[in-house]
Structure 1
């Protein structure tokens, strides 16, 4: 006897996928729960059984969008390569993930703008970046303990590295260049590494 499918998981994923498409096409404010219910072929009442509000859908979407970068850095904490090699791999992964989602650039910009007036979105992003910086700090600490880096404050370096990633990404989203994002991010990473790598 085959195991029963988890219909709730499937339907939740379907709703988030449809919401992503509608938000990207029409904007978050202009997308109603009625539009979303129609897109997934269910009544609004059933839709509310899965998500109690549009805000709950937005938070689930944020979780999905930001989960991979955090998983990437956490996975690299266990990798045997040098810290410089792992930071380079992390940078490459980040660029690849972002370039794959380029069609969602307007939505990403809207989500960031929404954080200025929505405390739940702001709280999510703040918590995400705290966890991301903490994982980066652990990675930097490993490099320090292995003698790869000079005497530095891992948390401070992690803060600047996160700012480097985020700032470079926003500049690229606002003004894409013929160069790939990976090239831009790796160039920025090398500038930072020059200041901390033991010669």
Structure 2
């Protein structure tokens, strides 16, 4: 008997749900997005989402992982740019997802799933910044503090938006310290 629809690969369906959730979370924010709205966006039932993701926080982590992979790939394409330009690019990408950044910081206090992701994210970003700083010839003893300063600077620019040229000026000061 012929099938009405082609079988869907589990990873393909999961990716469709993540894409729908990413779009909805960016539009209305994590808190205001319902699983029913995500399901509608993905063309599935709400129950189907729970076959793939334990809860809304697990879906958020999948969205964050998806966005992080895209950002890391995009950052690789910026490798020929100056350190300041690459940091500015990162800030701009994070600003595009400011509702998710805010949600992650808020949920980290109450959700072990999100807190674990957030900690791993900071370990990764600290390591990436530390590698850049080490490659610039900074004394090894200063690298951890410099990496932390970089993270604080980026988070500060996210929490206190400035015009692009002022962001650049702040990041250039970070480059001088480096």
Q: Same fold (TM over 0.5)?
A: yes
Aligned ranges 1:7-156 → 2 under 5 Å = 7-67=9-69, 89-100=82-93, 102-142=95-135, 148-149=137-138, 151-153=139-141, 156=142
With normalisation by structure 1, the TM-score equals 0.67
Provide the rounded CA distance (Å) in 2 between the counterparts of 1:5 and 1:157. 51
Q: Which residue of 2 aligns with 1:196?
A: none
Task: Please report how far the alpha carbon of residue 103 of structure 1 lies from its aligned counterpart in structure 2 after TM superposition.
Answer: 3.5
Q: CA RMSD in A?
A: 3.3
Provide the rounded CA distance (Å) in 2 between the counterparts of 1:138 and 1:103. 25
Runs of 4+ in 1 over 4 A off after TM superposition: 68-73, 138-143
**Is the 2:125–2:151 Cα contact (8 Å) retained in structure 1?**
no
With normalisation by structure 2, the TM-score equals 0.73
Q: Which residue of 2 aligns with 1:192?
A: 177
**Is the 2:58–2:113 Cα contact (8 Å) retained in structure 1?**
no
Task: Please report how far the alpha carbon of residue 58 of structure 1 lies from its aligned counterpart in structure 2 after TM superposition.
Answer: 0.9
Secondary structure in 2 matching 1:46: helix
- 5+ long unaligned stretches in structure 2: 1-5
- 5+ long unaligned stretches in structure 1: 80-85, 194-199
Secondary structure in 2 matching 1:28: coil
